[in-house]
Amino acid sequence: MIFKGKIGVWFWLLLIGVNITLICGGIHEELKDGEMLELFFAFFLINIICVPMVIRNYVQIDGEKLIFVLGFCKDYMKIEDITEVYRTHNPIAAGALSLDRVVIKAKRQEWVISIHGKEQLFHELKVRNLKIQIRKSTAPGRE
């Protein structure tokens, strides 16, 4: 079962804004030798990192594993090791392209992801591991 990653408006605005700035800088500015190469390198680097993150952004339940894919990164967690899942809007947390996030805690790992179908993910995880605690809030101890 695959859960598509959620991409926030802020990420799109940031990606588009950076690209427009770099393109306009290359077209409208009088650049010295090497500056055009620097702009091209920055444009290439931003897009080689961010575009795959938009294209490959999902979480998959594969048997007894939960697989997380974001761009060129891929990681997995055993469902039996998961201890707790909950929603968060923590802007500091990494690994999610939207502020509407889910924290998945296991014995030795912790992921912060952003997906569509959070409730369905919670249900599927609970079916596979009855010991998982599903919190309704980001504050510990609040249900």
Domain residue spans of the chain: 1-143
Per the structure block, which two tokens stand in for 94?
């990494």
Note the helical H segments in the chain: 9-28, 35-55, 118-128
| pLDDT score recorded for residue 125 | 96
- Backbone phi, then psi, for 37, in 5-degree steps? -65, -40
Options 3.40.50, 2.30.29, 3.30.1490, 2.20.100; CATH for 1-143 is: 2.30.29
CB atoms within 10 A of CB 1: 10
Give this prediction's pTM.
0.81
pLDDT at 46: 94
Residue-wise pLDDT tens for the chain (143 aa)?
A: 999 999 989 899 999 999 999 998 888 777 777 888 888 999 999 999 999 999 999 999 999 999 999 999 999 999 999 999 999 887 776 667 888 899 999 999 999 999 999 999 999 999 999 999 998 765 554 44
pLDDT at position 89: 81
**Alpha carbon separation from 121 to 33, 37, 106, 126 (Å, rounded):** 53, 45, 15, 8
Q: What is residue 93's predicted lDDT score, i.e. its pLDDT?
A: 63
pLDDT of residue 105: 95
